[in-house]
Amino acid sequence: MATGKTDSITIWEENMKKRAKWVALAAFAAAFMAFALNANGRTAANDGDLTIQIKNVSENGGFYQVDVDGAKMEVIAIRASDGTVRTAFNACQVCYSSGQGYYKMDRGELVCQNCANRFKAESVGIRSGGCNPVPILGDGKRVTDDTIVISRDYLRRAKILFDGWKTEYE
């Protein structure tokens, strides 16, 4: 990156290039406008950005849905025991391409629906690599006292994680 900063999506992209999967997966693209407010009220798109209200994030985690150019995506936001709010894409870094590499909550842990690995809130948004949710770090989000905002551009860069996603979109 020109700024000298490294974020999780950039690292992920570089790893994908090394694995020669990036070119094949990047061919998938759709065009459609992001929605303004999901019916369940958990997500809001403002000019295409995803805005999460920090007061609504709990230790039980939340799955925040967004549609970016026709790609249905989810962001996980969860409050860790130290009170910090952690964010990641609902996509397993190893299993995402299976279409089943997404997480559901089970007894306070995130469980990958492909490989069944389990993760506590403490690792969300921190660990990178392996069977962990893809973290949203650094330049990937803006945090204020009240909100976490993930830009439409950043979401667009991550769309590839959700190609072939086989979960129901509520």
Residue-wise pLDDT for 86-115, tens only, equals 999 999 889 888 888 999 989 888 899 999
pLDDT grade, residue 29 (50/70/90)? very low
Residue 33, pLDDT > 50, answer no
Q: Domain boundaries in the chain?
A: 8-162
Torsion angle of the four alpha carbons 39, 45, 75, 8, in this order, in degrees rounded to the nearest 10: 170
Q: Give the number of other CB atoms < 10 A from CB of residue 59.
A: 11
Q: Give the number of other CB atoms < 10 A from CB of residue 3.
A: 8
Across 12-21, 35-44, 120-129, 137-146, least confident range: 35-44
pLDDT of residue 3: 54
Nearest by Cα to 125 from 147, 144, 141: 141
Number of H helices, E strands in the chain: 3, 11
